[in-house]
Structure 1
Amino acid sequence: MQRPRIQRWAAFSADPDGGNPAGVVLAADTLAVPEMQRIAAEVGYAETAFVSGVGRARDIRYFSPIAEVPFCGHATIATAVALADELGDGVFTFSTPVGPVEISTTSAAGGRTASFTSVEPWVEVLPADALEAVLALLGLSASDLDPGHPPRLAFAGNPHPLLVVEDPAVFDGFGFDPVAARALMDAAGWPATIIVLHERALSEWEARNVFPVGTLSEDPATGAAAAATGAYLRATGAVSPPARVRIRQGRHVGRPGVLDVDIPVAGGITVSGAAVRID
């Protein structure tokens, strides 16, 4: 049996200093949960993926520095590119805690990219008390929200409260207490991020994702949230599928990244991006 190898990748960027860092542990078959949690804490990234099995069908689990996460898009992208480095481009199937996820990789002059299709998403009205709590956390009011894009709870692997802020200065300027954010998210059962969006132009959005975990407070590039955003845009009629939108994220934390989101008429949302080895 191979010994586990810890790799570090940046997902949703071709620059190691951009996008969202992810740990990738290949040949994790012998690792127990406490050891996976310990390694994720030592790596210190938002998530580390632990992969077991052989070939193009693998089991995968995701751990933040403090807890297991049901699904993580940027670590999925990083893992697929890491495996493609060994096995070549093509289609991989990951068995995740939320169900099977298919992901494909391709290579071009600019490097290698990967695309995953989420599990079946859903979108619900965000309860009034939850919306009030999120607005209070961010120091926003209902008047700061874009009237054309109502708040929702969106799922494409993880449930995310999602708000759209109309004014770019308000979007850039909001802040939050990470301790209060963690308490709110734990109490509400939101294991991943709070999505805050701003519509930059036709088919182009900017995202900030609240994610207080370890030393982090805001996630640089969030694949699962991008999939949930695609589901939200489809469910609210903000796009006419099939459609593609681009999400920019990470500028506010100094790690800009790009996520391309393909929104079909029905079914899972496809999220694509580059990944590059950090070490």
Structure 2
Amino acid sequence: MRAGGGALRSIMTTPLHYAAFTTDPAGGNKAGVVPAADGLTDPQMLALAAELGYSETAFLVADPAVGERGYRVRYFAPTLEVPFCGHATVAAAVAVAEREGPGELVFATKAGTVPVSVTPGPDGVLRATLTSVEPHQDEVPAADLAEALAALGWPAADLDPAFPPRYAYAGARHLVLAAATRERLADLDYDFDRLAAFMTARDLITLQLVWRASETVFHVRNPFPVGGVVEDPATGAAAAAFGAYLRELGLVPAEARLTLHQGEDQGSPGELLVELRAGDSRVRVSGAAVRLPG
């Protein structure tokens, strides 16, 4: 059922609260979802996102022109609009599926068209799989790397030389840096204003800080000062960009299934599943989402 007028519309413009990339409401990354944002202005959406205080809130408008079960979706952090957000996409898709049933959805975002499939898991919790826009990577100039490390307070010697720094994109732009040890990744105490200025000047949404636990398992963290958030607990857009980065550099096979653990160091653990398919440059990111009270 789509949003109508009157009392139903009032209900549909009330934000819903979700935890994404988790089956536990205490874990994952929290997101707001406004199921029918028709008529809301940009300042109103930004103000609502700031009031909720989550790293992002998704605002949906049903639009048959996008496709069957199609929506136009915009994402706002507390301080700015971002072109794409993975965890809010998972939350929004689950919110739609709870109302309309699982199946295939199409989200038209500022980054491009993002198909999303929602299925129930064996535990009954709904899971969403998004397919990213076309990814790409760029070299990181030496001066950029030096400034990023200075803002983080990381010595260059603490980086893993097997993972070259790159700017990676799959709907939003991220800087990928790999820590040589789990201890380095766990010790995150950065200069908020300095890193925010660095990221703003380079159109970065987060830093994707990673440590490889095994061939297919990674631990990740994502500073997000440009959004007014110290750290994002589970970052689907960065996960998609990172999957493409790994494949492009030959660090994983062209066809692979990867598990990313994020949020553990914040006390809000989440799990992101990344799928790479041979012959398909786009990246799939999957995760569960559960509704929160409020």
Please classify the TM superposition score into its range, dividing by the shorter chain length. over 0.9
Q: Does 1:143 align with 2:157?
A: yes
The amino acid across from 1:41 in the alignment is A
Pick one of 45, 53, 56 that aligns with 1:44.
Answer: 53
Counterpart of 2:129? 115
What is the TM-score normalised by the length of structure 1?
0.97
Asked if the contact 1:46–1:216 (Cα under 8 Å) also holds between the matched residues in 2, the reply is: yes
The corresponding residue for 1:87 is 100
In structure 1, how many angstroms separate the alpha carbons of the residues matched to 2:200 and 2:137?
20
Judged with a 3 Å threshold, the aligned counterparts in structure 2 of structure 1 residues 17 and 213 are, in CA distance, closer, same or farther, namely: farther
CA distance in 2, matches of 1:261, 1:88: 24
1:222 alignment counterpart: 235
Deviations 1:157-192 (A, max 9, x none): 1111101111221121232022222121112221x1
8 Å Cα contact 1:44-1:214 kept in structure 2: no
Distance 1:230 1:214, change over 3 A: closer
Runs of 4+ in 1 over 6 A off after TM superposition: none
1:80 is paired with a residue whose SS is helix
The aligned residue for residue 21 of structure 2 is: 12
Structure 2 matches for 1:23-102, cutoff 5 A? Answer: 23-53=32-62, 56-102=69-115
Task: Give the distance between the partners of 1:57 and 1:141, measured in 2 at CA.
Answer: 46
Structure 1 counterpart of 2:148: 134
The TM-score normalised by the length of structure 2 is: 0.92
- Give the superposition deviation at 1:214: 6.4
Alpha-carbon distance change, 213 to 151 in structure 1, aligned in 2, over 3 angstroms: closer
Aligned length: 278
Q: Aligned residue for 1:275?
A: 289
Q: CA deviation at 1:56?
A: 1.1
Cα pair 2:215 2:252 within 8 Å, conserved: no
The two structures, once aligned, show a CA RMSD in angstroms of 1.2
Other structure's SS at 1:201 match: coil
Q: Deviations over 1:91-130 (max 9, x none)?
A: 0000000110000000033211000000000011111111
In the TM superposition, residue 215 of structure 1 has moved relative to its aligned partner by: 6.1
For residue 165 of structure 1, the aligned residue among 162, 176, 179 is 179
After TM superposition, list the pairs within 5 Å mapping 1:258-269 onto structure 2: 258-265=271-278, 266-269=280-283
Match of 2:20, as an amino acid?
A: A
1:65–1:213 Cα contact (<8 Å) kept: no
Provide structure 2 residue ranges, at least 5 long, that are not aligned to the other structure: none
SS of 2:17's equivalent in the other structure is strand
Contact preservation (8 Å) 2:90, 2:130: yes
Q: How many Å apart are 1:141 and its aligned residue?
A: 2.1
Tell me how far 1:145 sits from its aligned partner.
Answer: 1.1
